[in-house]
Amino acid sequence: MFRARHDTPPEDGVTVTIDGHDVTVPPDTSVAAAALLAGLDHVRTTPVSGTPRAPYCMMGICFDCLMEIDGVPNRQACLEIVRPGMTVRRQDGARSLGAAP
């Protein structure tokens, strides 16, 4: 259902790792869009019921696209732009924000 436009040559793409798989997407693609292009049916599960959630609003309002990006949990994937070598993982349940400095 979700697919890339074919007006960007593949050699101009950005390669990121999503759940252990390398994916090449057009430059200036959001991480959420890259996850959808990679075929993920969800990017996180809810902390209470474990219900799968996928990007919804794609503009930072709904928080359904929370993912772990470069080791940092609770990042809104729709607001992050892919960078070469970026590592992205689905987020299952609640994640700790870590200790305050």
Residue 87 falls inside a structural domain: yes
Give the Å distances, CA to CA, from 81 to 51, 62, 63, 71: 26, 18, 16, 16
First to last CA, the chain: 44
In the chain, the number of structural domains is: 1
99 occurs within a structural domain: no
Residue 98 lies in a domain: no
Q: What is the pLDDT along the chain (101 residues), one digit of tens a residue?
A: 566 666 655 568 999 999 999 999 999 999 999 999 999 999 999 988 899 999 999 999 999 999 999 999 999 999 999 999 999 999 988 766 665 54
State the pTM of this model.
0.83
Residue 44 lies in a domain: yes
Is 1 part of a structural domain of the chain? no
Asked if 77 contacts 31 with a C-beta cutoff of 8 angstroms, the reply is yes
Query: Which CATH number goes with the domain that contains 75?
Result: 3.10.20.440
Domain that holds residue 51: 10-92
